[in-house]
Amino acid sequence: MEYGRIKRFFVGDPISSEMAMHERIPKWKALAVLSSDALSSVAYATEEILIPLAAFGAAAVAWSIPIALAIGLLLLIVTISYQQTIRAYPSGGGAYIVAKENLGINSGLVAAASLLIDYILTVSVSVASGVENMVSAFPALAPHSVLICSVVILIIMLLNLRGVRESANVFALPTYLFIGSMLIMMAVGAWRFASGESVAVAPVIHESYPAIPVFLLLRAFSSGCSALTGVEAISNGIPVFKDPGPKNARITMAWMSLTLGGFFLGITFLSHMFGIVPKDGETTISLLSHAIFGNSFLYYLVPASTALILFLAANTSYADFPRLSSLLAKDKFLPRQLASLGDRLVFSNGIIGLSVMAIVLVVMFHAETHHLIPLYAVGVFLSFTLSQLGMVIHHLKIRQPKWRLSLAFNALGAFTTLIVLVVIAATKFMHGAWMVVVLIPVLVMTFRAIHAHYTDMARQLSFENQQFPQDFRPILHTAIIPVSGIHQGVADAIRYAVSISKDVRAVYVEIDPESRARMEQQWTKWAPNIPFVVVRSPYRSVIEPLINYIEDVKKSSQGGDLITVIIPEFVTAHWYHQFLHNQTAILLRAALKLKRGKIITSVRYHLK
């Protein structure tokens, strides 16, 4: 009862299945829920380009503009490609579905593994980056970064457990606050140069660019490609849109890409013109905001709104990770619990699992975004590539109207994302990307092992090709009641035992001879018709002697007999009182669970 009240307080009252349609959201809310990851990446994408360039020398920073323009072109190609995916898969065309249906199950599982890793990293990177922006404005918080990240993840988890529509209401305001603050910052920055108030440190277009190693350029490009993380979320999340879902998804994706591209290019251009160079302890966004606004209120607004959108960027993963997990679970590649909708019409188990794994990553990498980013983009672009290759095969098979144009877009998307994937893997392999490269096949093997288990279980439980039993004859069995004393719970257990079996035995584990003697004397007076068996335990263990006795009884019984272990338990009036008592019953059930031919039954006596 107490657990139920606590759950209702944090999560809310259950929502009936009939209300599922009313949980869908309009485009302006979907932009907040599904685009926050992509939009928030502008907070660190420019910085990730500048870090390797600045390490080579101040002059090398000039390459940030050509690199940003290349990434902007890549964003355009990916966006157009995913528009084709939305048209082809109006019920939700995630990379797993597209790759599985067109490239085969193994490709689908690789795409799924990549996406799951990406979603977990999205939560960790977004929240860690948000905390870094907070720390930039309030350095005193730096020692508590890991704790703040963990608390923020738990808060986002609770909001998502309350349902899609309710979480969208919470996330809409910070998303649009971030959009507004970015527009103001870029407008004021551009005005300062146009009015002559500020003089550009460097021109936007250089007549010549310094010679730097190609590998360094590729590394800066691959780091900046983190700007594209989350772009695919809308094509995965079509079911959350109000009707017509596919049309609304395409419009929202166009809004998102236009906003993302504009912000990313605008921040990179302004950072270059103001001469912003990465600095320990302060983010590029904070440095740029300070250069434009000084110490005014607007300076604090930009890092604050950036921190909020980064915290909420994790919500994109909370929208897509549980849904993808449920699809894998329905296909028997993940535990079935992940396929179940919770009280609030969300996949609660997936939400909780995502939160736990994200917190583990934050703790492992000390909440440092720059250490997490190298793990980030490999899975993103691998899933991009498989999805676009799958779409190429889809167009060749289906050949819908205007399929050649769609095929061209998806082929271009597959080619470009494959090249970027190779670049990212090569430039970031030794910086942490190797972990993702190793983890993806491990996850695929895990999926396969889970599927094999469910397939084997179904085969063993099925009556297919077997004769269905025409009669059910009773099975002889022995009822064993473990007892440690005489109380109301034991009396109820005995009443139940004698109603189902003629062979009932009470078993007492002797740890202290004096206690055993008193127990025997009491039992003889209290239940003389029930055999009282004493099992000695010289090493004071309770569970092991009981298990050994039960196994001995099983060996001496007839082949078809079963052993029923009836465990008397008392249930305390309040859940927290349970911690004051031994949990022998739980341990005994756990020990017997994997034993063949044993039935475990609990007879509970509830205390007032």
pLDDT tier for residue 546 given thresholds of 50, 70 and 90: confident
- Please say whether the dihedral angle defined by the alpha carbons of residues 114, 120, 121 and 123, taken in this order, is positive or negative: positive
310 Cβ partners below 8 Å, 6+ apart?
Answer: 40, 43, 126, 127, 129, 130, 133
In 3D, which of 30, 421, 414, 35 has the Cα closest to residue 261? 35
Q: How many Cβ atoms from other residues are within 10 Å of residue 423's Cβ?
A: 19
pLDDT, tens digit (0-9, with 9 covering 90-100), for 163-182? 655 556 666 788 888 899 99
Q: Using alpha carbons, list the distances in angstroms from residue 417 to 21, 140, 187, 293, 381.
A: 35, 41, 32, 38, 6
pLDDT tier for residue 599 given thresholds of 50, 70 and 90: confident
287 pLDDT higher than 50 = yes
CB 205 within 8 A of CB 26: no
Q: Which two tokens stand for residue 490?
A: 């034991």
pLDDT, tens digit (0-9, with 9 covering 90-100), for 332-356? 999 988 887 665 557 788 888 899 9
109 pLDDT higher than 90 = yes
DSSP code per residue over 378-397: HHHHHHHHHHHHHHHHHHHH
Domains 24-453 and 477-606 share a fold: no
CB 413 within 8 A of CB 130: no
β-bridge partners, 571: 606
pLDDT tier for residue 20 given thresholds of 50, 70 and 90: very low
The pLDDT of residue 443 is 93
CB 284 within 8 A of CB 64: no
pLDDT, tens digit (0-9, with 9 covering 90-100), for 368-378? 766 676 676 77
More confident residue, 268 or 4: 268
Average pLDDT, the chain: 81
The packing angle between helices 369-398 and 95-103, to 10°, is 40
The conformation of residue 468, written as its DSSP 8-state character, comes to P
23 pLDDT higher than 70 = no
Q: What is the mean pLDDT of residues 569-579?
A: 73
The pLDDT of residue 601 is 87
203 pLDDT higher than 90 = no
Model pTM above 0.85: no
pLDDT tier for residue 264 given thresholds of 50, 70 and 90: very high
pLDDT, tens digit (0-9, with 9 covering 90-100), for 376-429? 677 888 888 998 899 999 889 888 887 888 888 889 888 888 888 888 888 777
pLDDT, tens digit (0-9, with 9 covering 90-100), for 218-244? 888 888 887 887 787 788 777 778 888
The conformation of residue 483, written as its DSSP 8-state character, comes to E
The pLDDT of residue 342 is 61
Q: How many Cβ atoms from other residues are within 10 Å of residue 416's Cβ?
A: 19
The end-to-end CA distance of the chain, in Å, is 14
More confident residue, 197 or 540: 197
Percent of the chain with pLDDT over 70: 88
More confident residue, 341 or 88: 88
The conformation of residue 469, written as its DSSP 8-state character, comes to P
Q: What is the mean pLDDT of residues 303-323?
A: 79
**Total number of residues shown for the chain:** 608
Characterize 542-564 residue by residue with b for buried, 16 or more Cβ atoms within 10 angstroms of its Cβ, and e for exposed.
Answer: bbebbbebbeebbeebeeeebbb
H helix or E strand, kind and range, residue 504: strand 503-510
The pLDDT of residue 18 is 47
Q: What is the mean pLDDT of residues 125-139?
A: 78
User: Angle at Cα 208 formed by Cα 206 and Cα 214, nearest 5°?
Assistant: 110
16 pLDDT higher than 60 = no
316 pLDDT higher than 50 = yes
Considering the four listed CATH numbers 1.10.8.60, 3.40.640.10, 1.20.1740.10, 3.90.1150.10, the one that applies to the domain covering 24-453 is 1.20.1740.10
State the fold for domain 477-606. Rossmann fold (3.40.50)
pLDDT tier for residue 17 given thresholds of 50, 70 and 90: very low
The pLDDT of residue 589 is 81
1 pLDDT higher than 50 = no
DSSP code per residue over 261-304: HHHHHHHHHHHHHHT---BTTB-HHHHHHHHHHTTSHHHHHHHH
pLDDT tier for residue 312 given thresholds of 50, 70 and 90: confident
The packing angle between helices 105-137 and 284-293, to 10°, is 40
446 pLDDT higher than 90 = yes
Q: How far apart are CA 373 and CA 45, in angstroms?
A: 10
pLDDT tier for residue 448 given thresholds of 50, 70 and 90: very high
The pLDDT of residue 134 is 76
Domains of the chain, by residue range, sit at: 24-453, 477-606
